[in-house]
């Protein structure tokens, strides 16, 4: 199979999904109404509720949801062959993720821009809300721990990425100063910032940094993980304009450039895919494709995290309700494109099947390293950049994605700890909350030894938790559709599928973790399973009630909005 | 519209979009930080009136009237149900 053909088929499927299925969803299921006054207009406050141009909003939405997960997941999952991963990414994006992200955006926009957590309180009950907090805590913890390990692995396997990855922090610091202190023009600053970042990539490629072993009495792996957590802690405590804001921005710009480079290279070089379509000789110890495929590729197919972004910020900025189709559905398509790029890089970027098999020698071995090496080879063939430079570009791209998600994760988890403190009537300060977050996540990362294996072993749990969150969101959408007496099947079918797969995966993992006497992860997994059963029962009860209760009045959203704002 | 004016309008729209893309995700965080800063400023200016000796009170006293419009919201926000200043009967 030629990668260009696969790319074109993938693009056609995603385009078809956007042009046909999202049109059907928008007109028949969600009935997006251009005359509906969105929360951005109903409650404009210049802070959270601001009507925003749909292209800008799409950019925000897409860069917020695109972390390292759409690269890591598919790059690991191609161990079962490229076909299953390809099908799950394309069909998952079209029928699952698009439906889910658009649905979350619509449900939130129809409810004063409330988050999925608040909506679960209204539509499923207060227990649903508590459950949501537990799930979000675990999810953020896993993201932080897993991404620390992903970055550490990249810094060790691609030493040329060390300078650009850490130098990007310096670039972001300077960009922040240029904009806020020196009041420079943003467009000029952007060009200078991105140029500086690429100059650092050239420098890094010339001077790869390999740490001596041991360094300061610990292994390089331990050193990098500790350094990353120290960075994330400091970044989350600094004022946002100093580091996080310019860093996220430069990263967003780099995301668009990186995607362009990768797709351009595939178009120009069209390498053959060396990996098998379906791998029937998977390495020993590889878990079964069903259900693990469906939780290993979460972002890029369907991801509960998207619902949090859709309902957390994007819904409050929708200018017109009909924009939801572009922002929500096409945002999912953007993520699908990233995942598709990761599949191509990890299957077509090797010279022979033997090379590919050498990398995919065990489950979890391929991953982001395969994306960097394979993608590097494709960019080399397509654009003529030296292989090492191409690999450095892709490694820097992956590190930046993972690092921005990690530091934002530390910040968000700090808020969760502080909120939990409020609930318990204990005042938890910024510093203490950050310290708690760091201790818990460092503990989890090192729970399997100094190499930080604990962070990566929980990756399948991340998928399960994330998918559970997606089913929670879909169940809210289904309840709303049932209440309005609209066709609930576009939500119910993905809901049932995702729920069954994530539950099945969690049970399979429970057995594996018991065999491995891994009590920490066993405990976490048990919490997730209990939460899953809980969601299922609550959601079924809520749907049954929605079905039997009298239908919701056509203007129920508005009436509710007025009642709530009055209370 | 001349070609030059059209280009300028497009450039302006692009710049505005770029600025929006830069600032949008952090609008709420900035608003919160600004409010915290304003609260602290209010506390410093009113220190003398609240009974904390303040050597710079002579200079900051003239700022007090400027704080009145936001005063009620401020004292509610810091957890005082009633106005802590006798001469300001906002509630």
Residues of B in Cβ contact (< 8 Å) with A308: none
Residues of A in Cβ contact (< 8 Å) with B23: 245
Residue of chain A minimizing CA distance to B24: A60
Query: What is the least distance, in Å, from the CA of B15 to any CA of chain A?
Result: 7
Supply the DSSP symbol for A271. P
Residues of B in Cβ contact (< 8 Å) with A317: 24
Report which of A302, A295, A169, A297 is spatially closest to residue A238, judged by C-alpha positions: A169
Tens-digit pLDDT profile for residues A198-215? 999 999 999 999 988 888
Rounded Cα distance, A177 and A175, in Å: 5
Q: Is B24 in contact with A52 (Cβ distance < 8 A)? A: yes
Sign of the CA dihedral with A404 first, then A409, A415, and A418 last: negative
Q: Which helix (H) or strand (E) holds B89?
A: none
Average of per-residue pLDDT values in chain A = 88
Tens-digit pLDDT profile for residues A293-334? 998 898 889 999 899 889 988 999 999 999 999 999 999 999
- Over residues A99-106, mean pLDDT: 96
Query: What is the least distance, in Å, from the CA of B36 to any CA of chain A?
Result: 12
Which residues on neighbouring strands pair with residue A272, listed in sequence order? A2
Show the DSSP H helices in A384-429 as ranges: 387-423
What are the residues whose beta carbons fall under 8 Å from the beta carbon of A243, sequence distance 6 or more? A169, A172, A173, A176, A235
Q: Are the C-beta atoms of A349 and A372 separated by less than 8 Å?
A: no
Q: Which of helix, strand or coil describes residue A64?
A: helix
Q: Is A358 on the interface with B (CB under 8 A)?
A: no
Rounded Cα distance, A501 and A490, in Å: 17
Please report, rounded to a whole number, the percentage of residues in chain A having pLDDT higher than 70.
97
Q: Which of helix, strand or coil describes residue B51?
A: coil
Q: Omega before A404 cis (within 30°)?
A: no
Rounded Cα distance, A428 and A432, in Å: 6
- Over residues A136-154, mean pLDDT: 87
Which residues in chain B (18-57) have CB-CB distances under 8 A to chain A? 18-31, 33
| A285 pLDDT above the threshold of 90 | no
pLDDT given at position A178:
94
Q: Is A190 in contact with B15 (Cβ distance < 8 A)? A: no
Residues of B in Cβ contact (< 8 Å) with A252: 21
Residue of chain B minimizing CA distance to A64: B25
Rounded Cα distance, A155 and A142, in Å: 20
**Residue A525: count of CB within 10 angstroms of its CB:** 26
Lowest-confidence region among A305-309, A419-423, A511-515:
A419-423
Rounded Cα distance, A295 and A233, in Å: 29
Integer angstrom CA distances of residue A439 from A253, A398, A408, A435, A519:
33, 25, 17, 6, 19
Angle, CA A193 vertex, CA A188 and CA A197 arms, to 5°: 150
Residues of B in Cβ contact (< 8 Å) with A185: 15
Show the DSSP H helices in A207-316 as ranges: 220-237, 244-269, 289-296, 304-312
Q: Is A313 in contact with B29 (Cβ distance < 8 A)? A: no
Sign of the CA dihedral with A241 first, then A247, A253, and A259 last: negative
Q: Is A186 in contact with B14 (Cβ distance < 8 A)? A: no
Q: Is B25 in contact with A60 (Cβ distance < 8 A)? A: yes
Lowest-confidence region among A45-54, A244-253, B61-70:
B61-70
Residues of A in Cβ contact (< 8 Å) with B20: 52-53, 56
| A528 pLDDT above the threshold of 90 | no
Q: Is B22 in contact with A179 (Cβ distance < 8 A)? A: yes
Q: Is A241 in contact with B17 (Cβ distance < 8 A)? A: no
Report which of A256, A403, A278 is spatially closest to residue A341, judged by C-alpha positions: A256
- Over residues A231-238, mean pLDDT: 88
Q: Is A53 in contact with B18 (Cβ distance < 8 A)? A: no
Nearest to A64 among B25, B29, B31 (CB): B25
Tokens encoding A30:
């969600």
What are the residues whose beta carbons fall under 8 Å from the beta carbon of B14, sequence distance 6 or more? A187
Report which of A149, A203, A134 is spatially closest to residue A393, judged by C-alpha positions: A203
pLDDT given at position A557:
67
Residues of A in Cβ contact (< 8 Å) with B21: 56, 59-60, 249, 252
Which residues in chain A (208-247) have CB-CB distances under 8 A to chain B? 239-241, 244-245
Residues of A in Cβ contact (< 8 Å) with B19: 186
Tens-digit pLDDT profile for residues B14-51? 888 999 899 888 888 888 888 888 888 888 888 887 88
Tokens encoding A369:
């390293």
Q: Is B17 in contact with A55 (Cβ distance < 8 A)? A: yes
Most confident of A132-136, A386-390, B57-61: A386-390
């Amino acid at each position: 199979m030629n990668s260009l053909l696969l790319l074109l088929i993938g693009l056609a499927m995603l385009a078809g999904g956007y042009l046909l299925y999202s049109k059907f969803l928008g007109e028949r299921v969600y009935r997006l109404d251009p005359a509906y006054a969105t929360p951005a207009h109903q409650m404009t406050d210049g802070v959270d509720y601001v009507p925003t141009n749909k292209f800008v909003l799409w950019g925000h939405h897409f860069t917020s949801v695109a972390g390292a997960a759409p690269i890591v997941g598919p790059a690991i999952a191609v161990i079962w062959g490229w076909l299953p991963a390809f099908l799950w990414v394309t069909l998952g994006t079209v029928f699952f993720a698009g439906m889910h992200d658009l649905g979350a955006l619509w449900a939130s926009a129809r409810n004063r821009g409330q988050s999925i957590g608040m909506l679960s309180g209204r539509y499923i009950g207060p227990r649903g809300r508590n459950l949501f907090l537990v799930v979000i805590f675990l999810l953020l913890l896993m993201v932080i721990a897993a991404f620390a390990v992903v970055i550490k692995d990249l810094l060790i396997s691609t030493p040329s990425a060390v300078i650009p990855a850490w130098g990007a922090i310096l670039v972001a610091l300077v960009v922040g100063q240029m904009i806020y202190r020196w009041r420079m023009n943003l467009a000029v600053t952007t060009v200078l910032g991105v140029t500086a970042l690429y100059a650092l990539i050239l420098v890094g490629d010339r001077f790869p940094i390999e740490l001596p072993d041991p360094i300061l009495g610990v292994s390089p792996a331990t050193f990098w993980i500790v350094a990353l957590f120290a960075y994330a802690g400091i970044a989350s405590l600094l004022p946002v304009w100093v580091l996080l804001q310019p860093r996220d921005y430069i990263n967003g710009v780099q995301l668009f450039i990186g995607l362009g480079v990768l797709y351009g290279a595939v178009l120009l070089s069209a390498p053959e895919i060396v990996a098998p379509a379906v791998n029937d000789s998977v390495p020993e110890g590889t878990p079964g494709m069903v259900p693990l495929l469906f939780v290993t590729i979460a972002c890029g197919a369907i991801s509960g995290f998207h619902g949090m972004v859709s309902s957390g910020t994007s819904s409050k900025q929708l200018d017109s309700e009909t924009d939801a189709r572009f922002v929500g559905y096409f945002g999912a398509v953007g993520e699908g494109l990233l995942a598709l790029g990761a599949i191509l890089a990890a299957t077509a970027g090797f010279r022979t099947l033997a090379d590919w098999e050498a990398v995919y020698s065990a489950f979890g071995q391929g991953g982001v390293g395969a994306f960097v090496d394979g993608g590097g080879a494709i960019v080399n063939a397509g654009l003529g950049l030296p292989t090492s430079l191409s690999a450095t570009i892709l490694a820097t791209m992956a590190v930046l994605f993972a690092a921005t998600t990690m530091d934002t994760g530390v910040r968000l988890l700090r808020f969760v700890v502080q909120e939990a403190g409020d609930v318990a009537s204990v005042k938890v300060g910024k510093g203490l909350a950050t310290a708690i977050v760091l201790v818990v996540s460092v503990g989890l990362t090192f729970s399997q030894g100094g190499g930080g294996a604990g962070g990566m072993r929980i990756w399948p749990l991340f998928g399960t938790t994330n998918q559970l969150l997606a089913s929670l969101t879909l169940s809210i959408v289904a309840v709303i559709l049932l209440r309005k007496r609209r066709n609930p099947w576009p939500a119910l079918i993905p809901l049932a599928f995702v729920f069954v797969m994530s539950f099945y995966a969690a049970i399979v993992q429970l057995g594996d973790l018991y065999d491995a006497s891994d009590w920490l992860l066993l405990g976490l997994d048990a919490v997730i399973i209990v939460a899953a059963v809980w969601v299922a029962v609550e959601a079924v009860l809520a749907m049954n009630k929605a079905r039997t209760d009298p239908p919701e009045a056509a203007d129920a959203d508005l009436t509710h909005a007025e009642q709530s704002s009055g209370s | 519209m001349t070609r030059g004016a059209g280009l300028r309008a497009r450039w302006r729209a692009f710049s505005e979009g770029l600025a929006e893309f830069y600032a949008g995700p952090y609008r709420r965080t900035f608003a919160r930080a600004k409010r915290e800063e304003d609260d602290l400023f209010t506390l410093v200016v009113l220190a003398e009136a609240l009974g904390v000796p303040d050597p710079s009170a002579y200079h900051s006293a003239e700022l007090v009237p400027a704080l009145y419009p936001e005063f009620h919201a401020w004292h509610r926000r810091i957890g005082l149900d009633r106005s802590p200043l006798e001469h300001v009967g906002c509630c």
